[in-house]
Amino acid sequence: MDENTQKDRIRGSLIGGAIGDALGYPVEFIYSYAEIQARYGERGITRLDVSQWWTNEDGSKGKAWISDDTQMTLFTACGILNAKAQGSAPLPAICEAYLEWLYTQMGRRPRFRQCWIGEIPELNQRRAPGNTCEDALRSILRGKDPHNHSKGCGGVMRIAPIPLYGMAQGRIPEIEDLDMLAAEAAKLTHQHPLGYIPAALMAHVIYRLATDEAPTRDAFSYYIKEGLETCARLFPRYPDEVAYMRQLAEKALSLATAELPDVKAVESIGGGWVGEEAVAIALYCASRHFGDLEAALIAAVNHAGDSDSTGAITGNILGAAVGYAVIPSFYKEDLELLDVLLQVADDLWQGEHVD
């Protein structure tokens, strides 16, 4: 794969995830599809909403807001790049980056500043941060292990930069190392096995799609099955949890070929509030609408669940297959921090931050 294609795939995954996040953010806390339709029309929300009607603020500058999902994704990217720059292990650097994000949510200046994105105003705003993420990171800040048993999707929704960094220029050729690092990064805050095993599967699929010259739906299905087999090897202590992740993934692939409206298929998988459901919903949407990022994102966010996270994960996965160039311009034009996202995507390819 040539350099330009690699860069395009990394951009596609990172910006695709941010678009899915921003598309789903306004409806994350609308708890029925009928209510979404009442506000946005029969097809639900299909374009980025720049009004911020669901917040008490109006500082969008005509752009659709990202949520905590994309904030934390960007800090994941900075963490792994910091590790490369320092010649240190990636997981501690990712953890330090998450602590910097925590300070942005507390309205305090960190004791340390290693992530250049920490100065960006939009990343210092509270965009519905997850309680588990905040509580776990506060524990780490105090030198304590979080000791939670959460399997919320807040662990999986932020890990896309790990496989993207690893695939760039063949930097980390051992895919199992990336899968495990993604799981460990999720486990920093979400310590139930289903809070981090789905992160390994997500990383595996993103890596495979991003390195495939011409990915197809059949290849996508194979990568999912391969990823599940890898999870079984990586997590032998948790056969039941891996089996349940497999069950949901197989259900998602089966539904993708069924004659069922997207909202019914998605809601039959779950609400996406927990890791395994969020990833399975994204697998369904990406498979059902393989090659069509717009349709996949619309399917991913129009349901009565955790719409921004399912949108973000779907965008990360399918964006790795289709790339950035084909993303509709109306999504790019209305997305906040597009320039920052593009910079971070290119940094991931380069392996360092370039001013």
Whether 57 maps to a domain, the answer reads no
Q: What is the pLDDT of residue 107?
A: 85
Whether 60 maps to a domain, the answer reads no
Q: What is the mean pLDDT of residues 226-250?
A: 99
* Residue 318 pLDDT level (bands cut at 50, 70, 90): very high
DSSP letter for 66, please.
Answer: P
Q: What is the pLDDT of residue 108?
A: 82
Q: What is the mean pLDDT of residues 145-149?
A: 93
Whether 52 maps to a domain, the answer reads no
Q: What is the pLDDT of residue 289?
A: 99
Distance separating alpha carbons of residues 86 and 80, to the nearest angstrom: 10
**Does the annotation flag 262 for ligand binding?**
no
**Does the annotation flag 309 for ligand binding?**
yes
Note down the domain range covering 179.
3-44+65-350
Asked if the model's pLDDT at residue 55 lies above 90, the reply is no
pLDDT > 90: what percent of the chain?
91
Asked if the model's pLDDT at residue 207 lies above 60, the reply is yes
**Does the annotation flag 135 for ligand binding?**
no
Non-local CB neighbours of 318 within 8 Å, separated by 6+ positions: 16, 209, 285, 286, 289, 290, 293, 296
Whether 51 maps to a domain, the answer reads no
* Residue 57 pLDDT level (bands cut at 50, 70, 90): low
Q: 186 near 274, Cβ under 8 Å?
A: no
Q: What is the mean pLDDT of residues 48-76?
A: 87
Whether 12 maps to a domain, the answer reads yes
Burial of 120 (0-12, 13-18, 19+ CB in 10 A): middle
Count the neighbouring beta carbons within 10 Å of the beta carbon of residue 212: 16
Left, alpha or beta for 337 (phi > 0: left; psi -120 to 50: alpha)? left
Q: What is the mean pLDDT of residues 292-297?
A: 99
Q: What is the mean pLDDT of residues 22-40?
A: 96
Whether 246 maps to a domain, the answer reads yes
Chain-centre distance for alpha carbon 354: 23
**Does the annotation flag 58 for ligand binding?**
no
Distance separating alpha carbons of residues 222 and 249, to the nearest angstrom: 12
Q: 71 near 78, Cβ under 8 Å?
A: no
Instruction: CATH number of the domain at 145, please.
Output: 1.10.4080.10
Count the neighbouring beta carbons within 10 Å of the beta carbon of residue 243: 12
What distances in angstroms separate CA 177 from CA 81, 203, 223, one per listed residue?
A: 16, 10, 16
**Does the annotation flag 306 for ligand binding?**
yes
* Residue 111 pLDDT level (bands cut at 50, 70, 90): confident
Q: What is the pLDDT of residue 58?
A: 57
Token pair 């619309």 is found at 298
Whether 55 maps to a domain, the answer reads no
Q: What is the mean pLDDT of residues 137-166?
A: 97
Q: 297 near 314, Cβ under 8 Å?
A: yes
Whether 122 maps to a domain, the answer reads yes
**Does the annotation flag 49 for ligand binding?**
no
Q: Compute the mean pLDDT over every residue in the chain, rounded to the nearest whole number.
A: 96
Non-local CB neighbours of 149 within 8 Å, separated by 6+ positions: 191, 192
Count of domains for the chain: 1
Lowest-pLDDT choice from 40-49, 50-59, 257-266? 50-59
Distance separating alpha carbons of residues 198 and 337, to the nearest angstrom: 28
Count the neighbouring beta carbons within 10 Å of the beta carbon of residue 244: 16
Token pair 């990915």 is found at 215
